[in-house]
Amino acid sequence: MNPVISNLIIIAILVAVIILSIKSMIPHFKGEGACCGGGSGVKLVKSKRLDKVIAVKTISIEGMTCDHCVARIHNALNSIDGVSAKVNRAKGQATVKLDRKIDEEKLRNAVTDLGYKVTEIE
């Protein structure tokens, strides 16, 4: 086979591989990737409306890299009875409203069990 044709075939294959790689990375860079075990299609559990808020805590969290991470933490915290939480990836925090006394360790475990690091609960 002619070396020019062989080189053209190899270049075409490399270009195709690069295009496919870039196409698969775009969602990740938009924060929609599946970096933590799933796609971006996770539905948020609606935050509860609490009748009486007795405390507000801020949980500082490390390791959130995408909207899927936010959704996982949001859903885990809001699944705790008496908790209404909102998670902010840019700040690396979750704001948690409580309508009863809830042990900080329970809040911490809800986040760390997902593989994230809680650095502080205020």
Q: Is residue 37 part of a domain?
A: no
Write out the residue range of the structural domain in which residue 24 sits: 1-30
Non-local (6+) Cβ contacts of 19 within 8 A are none
Distance CA 34, CA 40 (A): 7
64 lies in the same domain as 107: yes
9 lies in the same domain as 65: no
Q: Is residue 62 part of a domain?
A: yes
> How many folded domains does the chain comprise?
2
Tell me, what CATH number does 61's domain have? Answer: 3.30.70.100
59 lies in the same domain as 107: yes
The sheet with strand 55-62 has its strands ordered as 83-88, 93-98, 55-62, 117-121
Helix H or strand E encompassing 67: helix 67-78
Report residue 11 as tokens.
Answer: 């270049």
Whole-prediction pTM value?
A: 0.68
Q: What is the residue-level pLDDT of the chain in tens, covering all 122 positions?
A: 788 899 999 999 999 999 998 887 776 666 555 455 555 566 777 788 888 999 999 999 999 888 888 999 999 999 999 999 999 999 999 999 999 999 999 999 999 999 899 999 99
